[in-house]
């Protein structure tokens, strides 16, 4: 684990063994893979010090020396603050993980006229704590899907986490209840997904679509009701990916009427149950479990903490 400490608007980092001999330029471009524009901003605005002095971006770092990064400056919020109770699963100076309830959008489709979304609520939450309110969403969940969502609190954390998500270094595990009993108890659905030309919202499996890979494993069955409970994890993050794949596979989500599910519950039975990644600054392994806030008929059968 990397030794870090916040001091006011600065983050102090003690150079670990794995950074010994790297330059700050390499740290930004290779280790963190930060965007060029953001890297240029840190360089030109002198936002990095070494032992209290302006750093030379091209000199090797030495084990045990202290870097200071200016990360926590005040920013105007990009989204209107909106009060809603948040279930915070994990939080530090860099990231915020929230257990999203169903029936709320992750972000506004119209930022001016829509403010009752999860990112608006996260903005309000941070403002009440006296923190910068320019929260950054790393991934999203459909309106009726519940579970863990990851936000970044500042630009560098957002950039690193975006790259980690792109490189599949953030693992998201879902619980899904589907119609039917699966003959194949474990497998991978590797089918490209594109828009449905005949429906504004629907997606479909399409050879001309974007690559999409979903892994699944049956973890429980209700043979009487012919419902299977699956653990699913993604290698890609296409819109409606799990819903489209499982419907095409012949086992639509319970409650997902858009993709052939029966409305025996009031939403699609999909929950983002677990989030795993290595912290972008401390390298601590973060493993977060998100409990169900509804659907007791599922939560009583599935112990999320053992996933």
Which tokens go with 73? 């400056």
Closest CA to 243 of 191, 306, 181: 191
Q: DSSP label at 210?
A: B
Instruction: Clarify whether 142 is annotated catalytic.
Output: yes
Per the residue annotation, which of 142, 144, 162, 256 is the catalytic one?
Answer: 142
Burial 97-117 (b: 16+ CB within 10 A, else e): bbbbbbebbbebeeeeeebeb
Helix axes of 155-166 and 36-44: crossing angle, nearest 10 degrees:
150
Residues β-bridged to residue 218: 230
Alpha helices in 167-277 (DSSP H): 241-248
Closest CA to 160 of 67, 235, 58, 71: 71
CA dist 234 and 242 (Å) reads: 8
Residue listed under structure tokens 């993709």: 259
Catalytic site positions: 142
């Amino acid at each position: 684990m990397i030794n870090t400490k916040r001091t006011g608007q600065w983050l102090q980092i003690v150079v670990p063994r794995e950074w010994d001999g790297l330059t700050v330029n390499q740290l930004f471009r290779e280790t963190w893979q930060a965007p060029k524009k953001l890297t240029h901003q840190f360089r030109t605005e002198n936002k990095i010090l070494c032992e209290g002095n302006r750093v030379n971006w091209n000199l090797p770092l030495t084990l045990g020396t202290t870097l200071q990064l200016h990360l926590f400056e005040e920013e105007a919020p990009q989204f209107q603050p909106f009060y809603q109770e948040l279930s915070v699963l994990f939080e530090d100076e860099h990231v915020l993980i929230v257990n999203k309830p169903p029936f709320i959008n992750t972000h506004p489709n119209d930022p001016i006229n829509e403010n009752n979304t999860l990112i608006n609520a996260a903005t309000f939450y941070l403002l009440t704590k006296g923190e910068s309110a320019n929260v950054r969403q790393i991934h999203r969940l459909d309106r009726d899907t519940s579970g863990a969502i990851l936000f970044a609190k500042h630009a560098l954390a957002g950039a690193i986490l975006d790259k980690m998500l792109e490189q599949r270094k953030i693992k998201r595990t879902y619980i899904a209840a589907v119609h039917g009993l699966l003959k194949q108890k474990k497998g991978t659905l590797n089918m490209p997904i594109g828009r449905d030309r005949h429906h504004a919202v629907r997606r479909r499996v399409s050879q001309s679509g974007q690559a999409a890979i979903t892994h699944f494993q049956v973890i429980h069955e209700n043979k009487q009701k012919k419902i299977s409970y699956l653990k699913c994890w993604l290698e890609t993050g296409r819109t409606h990916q799990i819903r489209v794949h499982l419907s095409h596979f012949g086992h639509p989500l319970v409650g997902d009427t858009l993709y052939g599910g029966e409305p025996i519950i009031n939403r699609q039975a999909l929950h983002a149950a677990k989030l795993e990644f290595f912290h972008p600054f401390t390298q601590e392994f973060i493993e977060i479990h998100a409990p169900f806030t509804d659907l007791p008929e599922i939560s009583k059968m599935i112990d999320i903490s053992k996933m």
